[in-house]
């Protein structure tokens, strides 16, 4: 570790102590809800008692019009007031890089934390958002070096499979060390086990690694001890939340309630922040009695409402608690845990809604503003995502990056019939001794000749095919 120069130090101190967080992520707050008129009764949400503290649960602001849950400013000093320095730590590796590079891109704001200094948006430049941008490659893809594909590990160090494509995407700010080597957290990565998974990939496997401009982020111990109860990470029952969303009026393929419960491969994600602040995972752990969670004192339970797809109809909620798995701190859904040892916790009282005000005379309906123009994106697996209302071409581009996370990468995005961004054509080489095509990113012309030369090097088996293509053939 090394001391931060003045500008980087001011940024880190402002991010950690003033607001505890950084720039915006792709998600926004879920917003309000209301019952759909004439709709059928919503299925009952699984009943989960609030736990341990006896203090009022803090709900998502605006998630329930009648909710009068206290804001962080209104909480008693000891309810969510860890010692100075609590929240997120930012560590820069002593790698010879300039820690002030790109610092002027980071917008630090006082409102980037939601209801707790431990629930903040990532302190990242706008283009990095939840995933860090690869300057050398000009995209969010981080190509892998030639040779056997690296393993993807869970947070306990177990192998989940081998990476099944030629690149990974990297969650901003998260590193761990396994067997003395630094690993980065790869997001939504296809594996040779036929699942798409997130986990740890050795940083030395990246063509453009190590990622010198990415800091290492850690959530910290509030310093008030742990509750006596010990919880097993069991993953809950995702089947109880079919197609439920963590955002109102959302019709996309992501933002699912089940993202925060048992995931494919029997794992659960430990979160850096909650839905509405990014919902970003900082680690992934296997379910079972061998993995236990201890809740920290001094940080209140936070509630995230759940909605029927593409409506404001509220179906239930998830209860997130803060603590650690083996000393690694983060948030986890109470619904993904099972009490293992210790006293049965006392329920936390819910904040009752205020009585509904008397109905006022109806005002004449105002003319509805037309919806923002729709954004569409074609992903490299051929799928079409959208429509997604966006206020600008830049907003369309930002949305398209996340829309194709699980569908290879973006091929083309469009708004109001106009192209927003289109992946440039690249030269791809398929060598006889390789399973997949390789992007010869330096080639501008003469693809076949360049591919023949590249595949002619030792161990690659000679050229099988060469092609110009926007996406990997």
Residues 290 and 193 in one domain: no
- Whether 268 is in a domain gets the answer yes
> Is 356 among the domain residues?
no
Q: Could you tell me if residue 45 is inside a domain? A: no
**Per-residue model confidence (pLDDT) at position 371:** 79
User: Is there a single domain that holds both residue 208 and residue 230?
Assistant: no
- CB neighbourhood size of 12 (10 A): 23
* Mean pLDDT confidence for 358-381: 74
pLDDT, residue 79, reads: 39
| Residue 25 or residue 155, greater confidence | 155
pLDDT, tens digit, for every residue of 32-44?
A: 222 223 333 444 4
Q: Name which residue leads in pLDDT, 211 or 352.
A: 211
Q: Is residue 42 part of a domain?
A: no
Percent of the chain with pLDDT over 90: 51
Give yes or no: residues 298 and 261 share one domain: yes
Please check whether residues 440 and 404 belong to one and the same domain: no
Q: Are residues 169 and 93 in the same domain?
A: no
Over 70: is that where the pLDDT of 422 sits? yes
Least Cα distance to 149 among 197, 191, 104 occurs for 191
Q: What is the DSSP string of 374-438?
A: EEEEEETTS-EEEEEE-SSHHHHHHHHHHHTTTSSSEEEEEETTEEEEEPPPEEEEEETT-SS-E
Torsion region of 300: left, alpha or beta (phi above 0 gives left; psi -120 to 50 gives alpha): beta
Q: pLDDT value at position 90?
A: 53
CA distance linking residue 124 with residue 255, whole number of Å: 21
Of 195, 214, 233, the one marking the end of a domain is 214
Q: How far is the first Cα of the chain from the last one, in angstroms, to the nearest whole number?
A: 42
Query: What average pLDDT is seen over the chain?
Result: 78
List of residues 6+ apart from 90 with CB closer than 8 A = 12, 15, 16, 123, 173, 215, 216, 217
> pLDDT per residue over 227-253, tens digit each?
999 999 999 999 999 999 999 999 888
Residues 208 and 223 in one domain: no
Cα dist from 175 to 93, 127, 153, 199, 299, whole Å? 11, 20, 12, 11, 24
Asked if residue 41 is part of any domain, the answer here is no
Last residue of a domain, one of 214, 229, 254: 214
Q: In this structure, are 294 and 309 located in the same domain?
A: yes
Lowest mean pLDDT among 117-121, 173-177, 350-354: 350-354
Q: Is the pLDDT of residue 211 over 90?
A: yes
Q: Out of 53-62, 317-326, 398-407, 437-446, pick the least confident.
A: 53-62
197 and 117 housed in the same domain: no
Over residues 49-64, the mean pLDDT reads 49
- The SS3 assignment for 454 reads helix
DSSP category for residue 14: I
Which of 166, 182, 214 is a domain's end point? 214
Judge whether 330 lies within some domain.
Answer: yes
Same domain? For 378 and 412 the reply is yes
Residue 398 — very low, low, confident or very high, per pLDDT cuts 50/70/90? confident
Query: Quick one: 99 and 146 in the same domain?
Result: no
The pLDDT of residue 296 is above 50: yes
Using CA atoms, how far residue 379 sits from 128, 152, 270, 364, 383, in Å, is 20, 24, 28, 44, 5
> Under a CB-based contact definition with an 8 Å cutoff, are residues 197 and 160 in contact?
yes
Residue 345, pLDDT > 90, answer: no
Structure tokens at 393: 């071409």
Residue 129 included in any domain: no
The verdict on 84 and 106 lying in the same domain is: yes
Q: Can you give the residue range of the structural domain that contains 162?
A: 142-214
Write down the pLDDT at residue 310: 92
Q: Do 186 and 302 belong together in one domain? A: no
What does the block give as tokens for 6?
């003045």
**How many domains is the chain built from?**
4
- Would residue 353 count as lying in a domain? no
- pTM attached to this predicted model: 0.61
């Amino acid at each position: 570790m090394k001391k931060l120069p003045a500008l980087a130090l001011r940024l880190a101190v402002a991010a950690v102590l003033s607001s505890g967080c950084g720039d915006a992520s792709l998600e926004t707050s879920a917003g309000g809800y209301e019952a759909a008129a004439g709709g059928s009764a919503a299925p009952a949400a699984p009943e989960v008692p609030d736990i341990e503290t006896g203090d009022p649960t803090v709900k998502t602001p605006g998630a329930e019009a009648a909710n009068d849950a206290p804001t962080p400013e209104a909480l008693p000093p000891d309810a969510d007031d860890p010692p100075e320095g609590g929240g997120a730590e930012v560590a820069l590796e002593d790698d010879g890089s300039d820690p002030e590079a790109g610092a002027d891109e980071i917008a630090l704001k006082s409102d980037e934390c939601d209801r707790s200094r431990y629930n903040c948006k990532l302190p990242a430049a706008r283009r990095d958002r939840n995933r860090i941008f690869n300057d050398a490659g000009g995209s969010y893809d981080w190509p892998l070096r030639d040779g056997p594909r690296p393993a993807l590990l869970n947070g306990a160090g177990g192998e989940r499979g081998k990476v099944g494509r030629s690149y990974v995407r990297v969650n901003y700010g998260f590193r761990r060390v396994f067997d003395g080597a630094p690993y980065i957290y790869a997001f939504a990565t296809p594996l040779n086990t036929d699942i798409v998974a997130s986990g740890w990939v050795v940083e030395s496997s990246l063509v453009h690694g190590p990622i010198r401009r990415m800091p290492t982020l850690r959530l910290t111990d509030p310093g008030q001890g742990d509750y006596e109860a010990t919880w097993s990470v069991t993953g809950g029952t995702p089947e109880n939340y079919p197609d439920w969303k963590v955002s109102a009026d959302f019709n996309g393929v992501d933002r699912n309630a089940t993202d925060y419960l048992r995931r494919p491969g029997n794992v659960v994600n430990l979160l850096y922040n909650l839905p509405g602040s990014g919902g970003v995972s900082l680690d992934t752990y296997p379910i079972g009695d061998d993995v236990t969670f201890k809740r920290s004192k001094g940080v209140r339970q936070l509630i995230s409402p759940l909605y029927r797809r593409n409506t404001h109809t509220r179906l239930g909620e998830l209860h997130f608690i803060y603590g650690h798995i083996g000393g690694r701190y983060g948030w986890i859904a109470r619904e993904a845990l099972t009490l293992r040892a210790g006293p049965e916790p006392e329920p936390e009282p819910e904040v009752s809604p205020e009585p509904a005000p008397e109905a006022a005379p109806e005002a004449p309906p105002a003319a509805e503003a037309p919806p923002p123009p729709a954004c569409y994106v074609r992903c490299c697996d051929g799928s079409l995502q959208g429509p997604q209302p966006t206020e600008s071409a830049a907003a369309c581009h930002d949305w398209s990056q996340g829309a194709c996370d699980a569908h290879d990468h973006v091929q083309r995005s469009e708004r109001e019939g106009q192209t927003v961004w289109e992946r440039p054509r690249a030269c791809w080489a398929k060598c006889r001794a390789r399973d997949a095509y390789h992007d010869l990113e330096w080639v501008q012309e003469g693809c076949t000749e360049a591919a023949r030369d590249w595949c002619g090097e030792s161990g690659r088996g000679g050229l099988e095919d060469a092609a110009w293509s926007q996406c990997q053939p």
